[in-house]
Amino acid sequence: MRKYQVILFDVDDTLLDFQAAETQALTHAFTMQDIPVTEELIHYYHQMNRDVWKIIEKENDRREEMLVERFKRTLTYFAIKADPKTLNQAFRTQLALEHQVLGNSLAVVKQLYDEGYLLQVASNSRGVTQRKRLKAAGLFDYFDQIFVSDEVGAQKPAKKFFDTIFYANRTIPKDKLVIVGDSYTSDITGGLQNGIDTIWLSTEKLDENQPQPTYQIETLDELPGLLEHLSSSTQI
């Protein structure tokens, strides 16, 4: 008997290479506004974006405001005159077209699908964007359901986000669900706080006093082997 029936996948930096996609989309957006693209500009934006998403995870109702704010802060820092709303829209439009697959994620997803797991997406993003990217990457058809924050009305790690998933899977015992993701604050914290097992995709090591993921892998290639091992152990 398998330990899990449903595998919840984060998308960005778990299945798709968000760093590469983001850089391409940023370059496009800035270039369209005749703004010279430099490493310093991209680096500063990344810093602002991380800060903004920490706020969004706690205050989802400020999502649209804060997505524009990341560009506003970047433009202000470099004293660039441009419309942050226009930049944000150009960036998001281009991002939906970027679909760089991370490592062997397509092969891993296909293998788990062929083995009979129910695969579902759990992503803090826009549904339109993620569906386009997953389709372009050849991943979309492997997923049974897709849960995205703008449609759920809450961000991981919020209880509302996970309650939506649990209701959709209400015929399946909760201990048969596991979430796989690279973000400790949204994927792992969300899973732990809402009572399901977690698999952290990361090379980082946590302090002993921090809540630990149920399991940890360094690359997605390790996931099928881990699941097989856990299922074998369950049968003993």
Q: The tokens of 127 are what?
A: 């549904």
Whether residue 174 contacts residue 166, with contact meaning beta carbons closer than 8 Å, is answered with yes
Secondary structure (3-state) at 233:
helix
Whether residue 21 contacts residue 99, with contact meaning beta carbons closer than 8 Å, is answered with yes
Secondary structure (3-state) at 230:
helix
**10 flagged as catalytic:** yes
Catalytic residue among 10, 17, 182, 187: 10
- State the angle between helix axes of 105-114 and 223-235 in degrees (0 to 180), rounded to the nearest 10: 30
Ordered DSSP codes for 42-97: HHHHHHHHHHHHHHHHH-GGGHHHHHHHHHHHHHHHTT----HHHHHHHHHHHHTT
Positions marked active-site: 10
